[in-house]
Amino acid sequence: MRINKYIALASDLSRRGADAAIEQGRVLVNGQLPDAGQSIVSSDTVTLDKRALTPAVKTTIMFNKPVSYVCSRNGQGSQTIFDLLSPDYWHLQTVGRLDKYSSGLLLLTNDGDLANELTHPSREKQKVYQVVLKEPLQPLHRQMIQDHGILLDDGASKFELSRRKDGDDRDWQVTMHEGRNRQIRRTFQSLGYEVLSLHRTSFGAYTLGDLKTGELTIL
């Protein structure tokens, strides 16, 4: 394992911060100053500011986020998901986010490689949502979204739509491979529709299944 990754797993530093600490001489490997790209093996002793480091065990959880909770640690007056989670999981980072008024599948992890695999645009991980609109979606607007996309401030937004109930043009399943900020809500709002509820049911290989609101499972 490269030394900057080892330090990042065992401390509150990012990999870039670990590189800076190495350059500053704050890191020793077996009592010696290491090279920036050095590999660490299990028999090595690594210290940061004279404190021995042990990488944290990789932990990933799937959480069914309720409505009205934000994903950031600083809620700025709002309740956060960390108010609902045991302190044992407060060190985990969210993999992507759901906005305050959205619910459903949320992954949290300290595994940087997994987070990158799930969120990097080149991976195009599929996400599925249940969306309820206040007004029925017109056939033309459905076709516009699916065929060419709707132009938003940050580019065209395109995703697949299928009815969740026969004859109900307000209740839709959205399937997409992007994850821009509030993309689904902004897409419908740009066409004049109000989103009453938005609930994520799957993200890549992970599916919410029977997990109840506010509950979590360790993956």
Catalytically active residues are 99
Nearest to 212 by CA among 70, 99, 62: 62
Query: Strands, E, within 20-147: which ranges?
Result: 27-29, 46-48, 51-52, 60-65, 93-94, 103-109, 127-133
Tokens of 53: 């480091």
Give yes or no for a contact between 199 and 102, defined as CB atoms under 8 angstroms apart: yes
Alpha helices, H only, the chain: 3-10, 15-23, 112-119, 139-147, 183-190
Strand 103-109 with 195-203, pairing = parallel
User: How does DSSP classify residue 32?
Assistant: B
Distance of CA 84 to the CA centre of its chain: 17
Give yes or no for a contact between 199 and 104, defined as CB atoms under 8 angstroms apart: yes
Nearest to 105 by CA among 208, 5, 182: 208
Give yes or no for a contact between 46 and 52, defined as CB atoms under 8 angstroms apart: yes
